Chains A and B, each alone.
Chain A
Amino acid sequence: MSALPVTSHRSFSPSRVLAICSITLLELIRLKVFYILLLFSVAIIGSSLLMVDLTFQEEFQMLKDVSLGAMSIFTWLLAVLPTALLLPKDTEDRTLYTILAKPVGRFEYLLGKLLGVLCMVAIATVLMTAVSYVVLYVHEQSVIHSTARLVPPEQVQAATDSIRAAAFGVNLLPGVAVLYCKAALCAALTLFISTFSSSWIFTVSISVCVYLIGHVQSVARDAMQMKHPMGDAPLWNSLFLLVVTVFFPDLHIFSLVDDLAVGTPAPPLLIAEACGLGLAYTCGYLLLAYLMFAWKEL
């Protein structure tokens, strides 16, 4: 047996993180999480078939809304459910011991696991976007062909342009990117919860609560920031608003697709800021997860 040269240990190694990331991605693929994409396809193709008696503008608007709404819920599910299972499964199978008994830092382990989930969510997001585009394109072509038969030849171009304007456009892509950032935030948050949670059901439940409260956090923040927020309201009311504002993320900021789908233009700088906020949250929750996991007794 040849002796391997002893290398000096680096406290952070991208190759170790990459190894854990790829195995996590592979594990998730083997768990058949992408079957959820079939559900997604059924949801949007099914909804496109149900829309009869509506104008083509209404049909396109609803198809876009259903696609983006489904994308929003599926990216969230794909981010939260597998993440909630990561630590309990590795602990139960003792793969956690085998991995951490190697010269792998706990931060590297957590980062690798999170990146694995995020890669899977990224693949799913790209596929869902592609399915949405295809369904809308097919629908668009069918509307264009049927309209061309009904309008005088000189109006065909104008009609085609207005149909194209109503269908899925590239203006929705920034919204999809922000949806992805929101899913990343939720995955990191779930990872943080799972570092102190006793079961994955508890993790998912807390994650769902944070998701729901996160969407109305801005209401609490606005109320808190009003000059005279509650008048004579008791102290605990203000305290409650403060707790919600400080401890919960504002997920409403990441819900841009509703407005993008109806043609509200997205300023690139604002989109970048929203993505940056999502990334900052993801890093923050990862840091918190590390704080809890670094001293966890396995």
Chain B
Amino acid sequence: MSDPAISIENLTKVFRLSLKRETLTAVRNLSLRVEPGQVYGLLGPNGSGKSTTMKIVLGLVAPTSGATRIFGRDSTDVSSREDVGFLPENPYFYKFLTGRETMHFFGKLCGLGGARLRDRSMELLELVGLRDAAGRRIGGYSKGMLQRIGLAQALIQDPRLLVLDEPTAGVDPAGSRDIRDLILKFKARGITVLLCSHLLGHVQEICDRVGILDRGVLVREGPLDELISIENQTELILENASAALLADIEQKALASGARIVDSRKPQTTLERYFLDVTGGPARRDP
């Protein structure tokens, strides 16, 4: 059996507040596993311990107790980061570098070089739709482009795990859609994704499994479909149904002892409507 992409065992993190004896428990006895190939959503309100958990997974913060592993390697071991790509929230890159130079810089940090690094950089810039902007300075990139170059750099060493912190924060709907599409592409390629977000709509669209943190404690965890389906209700969407048919269904339902909770015309999402009127998800930043 292969190692889980992420395994967290009894993780607790207590921060000592500076110059005070007070402490803050950011994560309390957290255990979870993310299997290879999954898109895992780590949800929670602000201050719930998502970012701390993520930082511990990435080795940026040391756990007070417990352990985290990436594909079997301890997170505190620098070599574990060979398998991880990370996109921080609102990423910032060196403004004076072009997109291509940024990719080269991060590639060199991962031990890549020469033609292999050049090819890999162009391949990823193509993947995230920044090939044409590869020679432009990052200082001139839009928010969506920054997120996309962030995703590209996260993938430079071909990691098996991607950790994304609020990847669509501050991005317009079209950019947001692009990023979600990219995440689904990564999933299709077998890359495991740990996604931290509080934009629940996005999580719902792409995650296989979610964990919900509240004040440092994992309160719910499991496959998304199971967590959000209402077991005793059924949704029926009809097209071109006549009023007589609807009345007939209602009568039969009542006769069988079922209760009709709601009946309404389905609506498109505001996002889809916005994308339709502004040119759709195919639009890219210049």
Contact = CB atoms under 8 A, between A and B. Distances in A.
A and B directly contacting (CB within 8 A) = yes
Interface of A: 1-4, 6-7, 9-11, 13, 15-16, 18-20, 23, 26-27, 30, 93-95, 97-105, 295, 297-298
Query: Which residue, A7, A18, A20, A103, has most C-beta atoms of chain B within 10 A?
Result: A103
A104 B120 contact: no
B277 to A, nearest CB: 34
Contacts of A99: 109
Contacts of A13: 111
B84 A101 contact: yes
13 contacts: A1-B123, A4-B158, A9-B79, A19-B105, A23-B94, A23-B105, A94-B89, A98-B153, A101-B163, A102-B81, A102-B106, A104-B81, A297-B62
A95 B92 contact: yes
A7 B111 contact: yes
Contacts of A97: 55, 58, 60, 86, 88
Contacts of A30: 96
3 closest A-B pairs by beta carbon, nearest first, are: A101-B86, A9-B79, A19-B108
Contacts of A6: 82
B112 interface: yes
Contacts of B81: 101-104
B110 A103 contact: yes
B60 A101 contact: yes
B269 to A, nearest CB: 31
Interface in B46-86: 55, 58-62, 78-79, 81-82, 84-86
Interface string B87-113: 011111110110000000110111111
B88 A1 contact: no
B58 A94 contact: no
Nearest to B112: A4
B147 interface: no
Contacts of B79: 9, 11, 103
Residue of B84, B89, B96 with most partner-chain A CB within 10 A: B96
Contacts of A94: 88-92
Contact of B109 (A16, A27, A298): A16
Given A16-B109, A94-B89, A104-B78, 14 more contacts: A1-B189, A4-B157, A9-B78, A9-B79, A27-B94, A94-B91, A97-B58, A98-B88, A98-B153, A100-B58, A103-B81, A103-B82, A104-B81, A297-B55
Interface in B122-176: 123, 127, 150, 153, 157-158, 163
A77 B30 CA distance: 48
A9 to B, nearest CB: 4
B82 A9 contact: yes
B264 interface: no
A26 B96 contact: yes
B55 A95 contact: no
A18 B108 CA distance: 9
Given A4-B157, A102-B106, A11 B78 contact: yes
A100 B91 CA distance: 14
B37 to A, nearest CB: 15
Contacts of B259: none
Given A9-B82, A103-B79, A95 B93 contact: yes
B72 to A, nearest CB: 14
B116 interface: yes
Contacts of A9: 78-79, 82, 111
B16 to A, nearest CB: 10
Nearest to A100: B60
A13 B81 CA distance: 15
Contacts of A2: 120, 123
Interface centre among A2, A4, A15 (most CB of B within 10 A): A4
